Structure 1
Amino acid sequence: MSAERQESKLIRNLSFWDLMAISVGQIIGAGIMSSTGVAIGMTGTGVVLAFLLSPVLTIISIFPIAILGATVPTTGGPYRYCSRLLGKTPGMIYLLLHITMNVGLAQYALSFASYLVSITTGLDQHIVGIVILTFFFITNLVGTKSAAVLNKIMSVALIGGLLLFIGFGLPKADIAYVIEPSHLFAHGTFAFISTLALLSSATAGAQVVAELGGETKDAGRTIPKAMVASTFGVGIFYVLIALVAAGVLPMDQVANQPLTLVARETMPGIAFYLFVIGAALGATATTLNATLSWVTKPLLVACDDGMLPKSLGNVNKHGVPWKLLTLFYLVGFIPLAMRLDIAFITKFTTANSLLSKLFVCFALFSLASKSGDLLKRSSIKLSPAGAKGMAVLGMVVLCVLSSSLLLNLSVMVVGFLVALVVVVLIYVRTYAKNVEIENDLLVDYTSEK
């Protein structure tokens, strides 16, 4: 069976800095550029405190993935962990959440378009979104390595743009105004908690490199290092950006507005355009590109498992599962073609993302309970009891964040998600009822190339 798996055709050529580029590109994206103003509207200048806490909560929620990635690095990380440690039904429900949360491809493309339109005229946002989605789809068709190199270049421009925003804005920020208690929690404690949930999508993203275990050199050490370093590194930028966003203009002026409003106030013309091109466009472009580089991996493993049609996972000469990549291109294309609202897409994808991480926490708890000796292989030294504690802590954080966000979704949307879960349960009990999934967490299908 192992020799026939398509994942054996993947190429192990990603380094720590390749993963850092993918992680940073995944974290810094539509979240910081579009959610900061919304967060100010929800909680006032408390957005600064929320961004300070968010990386810590993010690490807690993704640390189970880091532990699993350090213990048994593998292609398609979370899906493989869930399907091997919890069973094929939880594995397929995770896969469903993985697909639905990546409707966010449309969010990233539309966010890119909205910033481009802010410095140009006569462009249709949804058409621009389709064009940029198509460009990065083609880029990723020729290999994950080329996508990672492109992300390195864009990440430099992105960080440069953010530094311009911070450099011009921070001297003009009124810190006393920001830390005034009545401004920090302008709409109460629950609104602050809901803001933390919203910003979880802005500071999350590094966990996606766990999908690339089969393509990463020394994956057991490289993956967790990249996850932690990128999350806290980007978190520092976020706090400084939030200080500028909330401290230059009154709250009522910047609430629910993009960062370009403050940028115009603090920057001279040339710097403003460099910010929009480097940071605003770069942030959304890097996230879109990074997502397409890893998004297919769980489905590739499911195809090899027989849970999905095997032919769907065919890999081209560049080591890319092109049919699956095309599937996710359509997942992003359809909302753009339907001209769906970006606010709806953002809430929908964030809720699914939080729920998917919950399954990974259960998987870690199961590993620590049934195969605790495997933790000795991990570059993160943790006892079975410690691993269980981290899993439970992650569950608590994710339940609080996801429930606060689900309350902001309509009954129809929640009902739609429930209906999809029912469809998956029927699918597992019919099409996949005779499929036996090999417990291959310790098998390395990918050789150095």
Structure 2
Amino acid sequence: MIVVDLFSGAGGLSEGFHKHDFKIAAHVEKEYWACETIKTRLFYHFLKAKNDLELYYEFLRVSDNYRNIEQTRALVFERYPELREKLEKEVLNRKFGNPHNDPTATSSTQMIQLIQNSLQYSRATSVDLIIGGPPCQAYSLVGRSRMKESVDKDSRNYLFQYYKRIVDEFKPKAFVFENVPGLLTAKKGKVYQEIKESFDQIGYTVLSGTSEEDKSNIIDFADFGVPQRRKRVILFGFQKNLNYEYPNFDRHKLSWDIPLTTRDVISDLPVVKPKQGHDLRLFEYDMSQGVDYLSPYELMMREDSIGFTNHFARPLKDRDAEIYQIAIKYATQGKQIKYNELPDRLKTHKNDKVFLDRFKVHRWDSIPHTVVAHISKDGHYNIHPDIDQCRSLTVREAARIQGFPDNYKFEGPRTAQFTQVGNAVPPVMSGVIARAVKEVICDQL
């Protein structure tokens, strides 16, 4: 089945569809480094299909500097020159918008032509499915509280109109629209109502779940095998005449023998202290201990991999290091430090009423908490549980919590890597979504 992925980010949503035999004809994403990450991931999928993962591993070994990304890709292009055109046609580094107001934007008409070119390259005559979720800050509770009055004027509230335009043009059987729960309540529910009405006008039914009460359809990805609490809404739209049912995600969820904890997810990764590790260099696994000590989740993360990248620990100020030690000690007792419980000498602001949980540890024996894009700004909400390491999570550790396999490399500077991971749909969940959607569509063929 042919898929177009809009607002792709680093490819977390499309990854699950790749894995379950959908053909992603085009990824549309405005952030440059996210697009470069998708391109590197296309190397992986292409070379795996060619039974040549050794070349992918060699590429990972030599590509340790994002400034030299084109030179290192030449290693792969030399053997498979056709990949150059594939990356160009299938990864569209474009931003939806009105070029008259924003010179960096691409109009819907231009975007449609680019996607048509991608389909032509893939020899696809139609689109079966469109996936993606417009940026969610304007819908999220935190985003709305920070933006205050300006949220009503934020153009991101209406990026779904571009999504609708693409759906209207290519007439897929269905579409999947992932977003934060605040989508259902933004502007007192008017945004979601407008979304449903807009798609209704072009012949599509939109469902937020199996319940008629939309707010009851918010799901927690942790219930489907993802090792973190992450509440989201998955809209499923389809051509009215097809009369599809909402996909049954429960039937395809990953089940673990015991509940996943932080220990099950990241404890096998090497110890690094602040300013240790490397952003892009490949760390090959130390196999001297065998694999018996690995959790089933860690084993899954290591499939088709010889190691991992993106494992550098941020520098840490002395004050923050002291706070982290206190927070980790609290966490070992099953408690979370509140900002107003810190010694006065460690506080940087006097407001003891808001953001009391700004320092938060991923406890060894609890499920990790939600990883979001704010991790790109600081690591205070994502503190590693090992007091001897006394640091925040690395990109790789955050990626593990998000369900990205170890052979998934994030390109660009570290801040861009963190943003890509924090914004992503966990591939573990996207695999669940892909299987459930495939079942719905194939049952009707």
The two structures have a TM-score, normalised by structure 1, of 0.27
The two structures have a TM-score, normalised by structure 2, of 0.27
Structure ranking higher in strand proportion = 2
Structure ranking higher in helix proportion = 1
